[in-house]
């Protein structure tokens, strides 16, 4: 995943903290160490991960299980353009 992100940096990364080979936290740290700063939507079945999402400066957290629409909504909010005041549109960033 890291090689793909480095080769073609995305605007948004949808990430689970529990992944094979390299966990999501290590991947995110490695991505940021490369100087890349994609927006991050984190998902997990572990409610305690919501706190980790905030520590890792993720833009959104979606708790599993989730409806596909919930994940899409989180991604849409994450990539929505800023309003006239320079702020992102209002809306919950952390979806249970």
Q: Which domain, by its residues, includes 61?
A: 2-75
Q: Could you tell me the CATH number of the domain that includes residue 20?
A: 3.40.50.2300
Residue-wise pLDDT tens digits, 41-91: 998 888 777 787 888 889 999 998 999 999 999 999 999 876 544 454 444
The H-assigned helical ranges of 1-96 are 2-7, 24-33, 49-55, 68-79
Total-model pTM: 0.76
Give the Cα separation of 64 and 95 in Å (integer).
10
What is the CB neighbour count within 10 angstroms for residue 29?
13
- The number of domains in the chain is 1
Give the Cα separation of 38 and 13 in Å (integer).
6
What pLDDT is stored for residue 92 in this prediction? Answer: 41
Structural domain includes residue 33: yes
Name which residue leads in pLDDT, 39 or 44.
39
Cα-based distances in Å from 88 to 18, 28, 65, 67, 85 = 29, 22, 26, 23, 9
Angle ∠(52,55,57) on CA atoms, nearest 5 = 110
């Amino acid at each position: 995943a890291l090689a793909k992100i480095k080769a073609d940096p995305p605007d948004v990364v949808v990430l689970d903290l529990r992944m094979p080979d390299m966990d999501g936290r290590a991947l995110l740290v490695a991505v940021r160490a490369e100087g890349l700063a994609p927006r991050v939507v984190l998902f997990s079945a572990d409610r305690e991960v919501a706190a980790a999402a905030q520590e890792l400066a993720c833009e959104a957290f979606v708790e599993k299980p989730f409806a596909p629409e919930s994940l899409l909504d989180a991604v849409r909010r994450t990539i929505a353009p800023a309003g006239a005041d320079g702020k992102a549109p209002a809306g919950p960033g952390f979806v249970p």
